[in-house]
Amino acid sequence: MTPTSPGGAPVSAAPRRTVLVTGSTSGIGEAIAAAFARDGADVVVNGRDPDRTKAAAERIRAVGGHGEVRAVAADVGSAEGVRILTDAAPDVDVLVNNAGIFGARPAFEITDEEWNLYFATNVLSGVRLTRHYAPRMVERGWGRVVFISSESAISTPREMIHYGTTKTAQLAVARGFAQEVAGTGVTVNTVLPGPTLTPGVEVFIADRFGDGVPFAEAERRFIAEERPTSLLGRLIRPEEVASLVHYLGSDGASATTGAALRVDGGVVNGIIP
């Protein structure tokens, strides 16, 4: 039986969309991919390591939903890796530029090679992928692009200014692309998570406070000593970030574009990004 609206008119089924989440083998990326998969979307899982990427796709497939979940291993920090990914998935409806790297390093010890690596991975990956996918979205009259930035974009961390700089650059890149696709049905936004409990952050915090400190205590000390403005008082969970990204990838977010939206637990001491 064809479903109808209260007035009797036929209601067409919502289209099943394809979602690509880069860097989705763990943490925030995996949580985002799982949220879309649970909602019935076809999901492309991406990571650099083939085995990890396949394993993540299997976990995401297990969350439910009726869409296809595919694994595409490619290092999007390089032009060749982007080509491999776009060849495997030529068109998507929702692009989530999540791939990124971070790490602590004294400012004067960051080498040119590290600066170039951070920029290529955290900024150019999203530029290249958006440059490929967004024009195709424009042709279809619908699409969503989301850059996963960080609260470090507007509050540069002293211990990793190379990371903070690339996250700031993402804000300008996303705004620029949003202006380019204005009025086409395609939106481009940036999400700014605060410190989030991912495997990488867990290692990062353990390194800063020592292996002998229980993680719950290390988490408490990290927030109290290094992110004391947090209103949440704890690390954010990946699923909390994924909820906002899932909204931005939906029809309901049609009027939100060119924006930087915080899911930072109140770490940034301000009322606008």
Kindly report the average pLDDT of the chain as a whole number.
93
117 CB contacts (<8 Å, ≥6 apart)?
Answer: 77, 101
Q: How confident is the model at residue 2 (pLDDT cuts 50, 70, 90)?
A: very low
- CA-closest candidate to residue 96, choices 177, 163, 33: 33
* Side chain identity, residue 151: E
pLDDT more than 70, % of the chain: 95
pLDDT at position 1 is 43
Q: What pLDDT is recorded for position 3?
A: 47
Q: Could you tell me the CA-to-CA distances from 270 to 75, 120, 143, 192, 267 in Å, in that order? A: 36, 30, 31, 14, 9
- Three-class SS state of 272: coil
Task: List the alpha helices (DSSP H) in 199-255.
Answer: 199-209, 215-226, 238-248
This prediction has a pTM of 0.92
**Highest-confidence segment of 115-124, 201-210, 226-235:** 115-124
Residue type, 184: T
Helix (H) or strand (E) holding 261: strand 260-263
- Domain coordinates of the chain in residue numbers? 18-196+238-260, 199-235
Q: What does the pLDDT read at residue 218?
A: 92
Q: Which residue has the higher pLDDT, 269 or 88?
A: 88
Mean pLDDT of all residues in 209-223: 89
Q: Which residues pair with 262 in a beta bridge?
A: 192
Say yes or no to pLDDT of 206 above 60: yes
Which residue's entry shows tokens 């998935």? 89
Q: Please determine, for residue 273, whether its predicted confidence score (pLDDT) is greater than 70.
A: no
- Sign for the pseudo-dihedral over CA of 255, 97, 177, 152: positive
Q: What is the mean pLDDT of residues 131-144?
A: 98
In angstroms, rounded to a whole number, what is the distance separating the alpha carbons of residues 191 and 62? 26
- Distances from the Cα of 221 to the Cα of 21, 136, 151, angstroms: 32, 47, 19
Highest average pLDDT, of 65-69, 81-85, 200-204, comes from 81-85
Confidence of residue 13 (pLDDT cuts 50, 70, 90): low
Angstrom distance (rounded) from CA 5 to CA 74: 44
How many other CB atoms sit within 10 Å of the CB of residue 226?
A: 14
Residue 7: count other Cβ atoms within 10 Å of its Cβ: 5
**CB contact at 8 A, 205 and 219:** yes
Provide the pLDDT for residue 201. 87
pLDDT by residue (tens digit) across 177-191? 999 999 999 999 999
> Which whole number is the average pLDDT over 79-95?
98
* Res 270 pLDDT > 60: yes
DSSP H helices in the chain: 27-38, 50-61, 79-88, 112-119, 125-140, 161-180, 199-209, 215-226, 238-248
- Residue 32 pLDDT > 50: yes
DSSP secondary structure of 161-203:
HHHHHHHHHHHHHHHHHHHHTTTTTEEEEEEEE-SB--HHHHH
What's the CATH number of domain 18-196+238-260, 3.30.70.20, 3.30.70.1280, 3.40.50.300, 3.40.50.720?
A: 3.40.50.720
**Catalytic positions, written as ranges:** 163
